[in-house]
């Protein structure tokens, strides 16, 4: 995620013509990922100040981009990337981050996905799972076409002739 952040910020800073764009992009990428919750905003302050020296409007563009990117990362990128690395569904990852934030704030957002992954691994290892089988009372007997669904009868007739 630091690499994605650095690349996105590099593209913006280079497009605006801000000096030291590669160094500033690496700065934003690293600091934004290693300081939870507010790291992106702290890291974005330095490029914003450098952009201000070029043109005050560029500083505003950097600020808008930093805020928009943070939202994109929180709601799109982080749940998908984290779900792949810990093998949980993206919706579960997103929901766990929302619940963790609601319960414990920024610390809850950080520990939500590992906690859910741990719970999922525990339940997968120690809770007995049952296979779902067909119930003959619902599917009926499979003799001479009784209990066969209409779509299956059509397929059987097509294979056996009219």
Which has the higher per-residue pLDDT, 146 or 69?
Answer: 69
Which has the higher per-residue pLDDT, 77 or 150?
Answer: 77
Average pLDDT for 20-25:
94
Range name among 85-89, 105-109, 154-158 with the lowest pLDDT average: 154-158
Work out the pLDDT band at 16, boundaries 50, 70, 90: very high
Backbone angles phi, psi at 39, to 5 degrees: -60, -40
Q: Are 97 and 86 in contact (CB under 8 A)?
A: no
pLDDT tops 80 at residue 128: no
pLDDT tops 60 at residue 162: no
pLDDT digits (tens, 9 = 90+) for 29-69: 999 888 766 788 889 999 999 999 999 999 999 999 999 99
Which has the higher per-residue pLDDT, 16 or 82?
Answer: 16
Q: Are 33 and 70 in contact (CB under 8 A)?
A: no
Average pLDDT for 7-28:
94
| CA 83/CA 47 separation, integer angstroms | 31
Range name among 39-53, 77-91, 98-112, 130-144 with the lowest pLDDT average: 130-144
pLDDT of residue 91: 81
Which has the higher per-residue pLDDT, 138 or 1?
Answer: 1
Could you please report the per-residue DSSP string of 33-78?
A: HHSTTTHHHHHHHHHHHHHHHH-HHHHHHHHHHHHHHHHHIIIIIH
């Amino acid at each position: 995620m630091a690499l994605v952040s650095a690349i996105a910020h590099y593209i913006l800073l280079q497009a605006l013509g801000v000096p030291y764009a590669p160094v500033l992009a690496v700065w934003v990428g690293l600091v934004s990922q290693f300081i939870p919750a507010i790291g992106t905003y702290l890291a974005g302050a330095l490029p914003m100040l450098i952009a201000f020296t070029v043109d005050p409007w560029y500083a505003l563009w950097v600020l808008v981009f930093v805020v928009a990117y943070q939202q994109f990362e929180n709601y799109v990128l982080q749940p998908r990337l984290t779900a792949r690395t810990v093998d949980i569904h993206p919706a579960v990852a997103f929901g766990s981050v929302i619940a963790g934030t609601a319960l414990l704030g920024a610390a809850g957002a950080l520990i939500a996905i590992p906690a859910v992954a741990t719970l999922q691994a525990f339940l997968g290892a120690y809770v007995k799972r049952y296979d779902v089988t067909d119930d003959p009372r619902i599917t009926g007997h499979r003799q001479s076409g009784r209990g066969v669904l209409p779509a299956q009868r059509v397929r059987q007739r097509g294979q056996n002739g009219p």
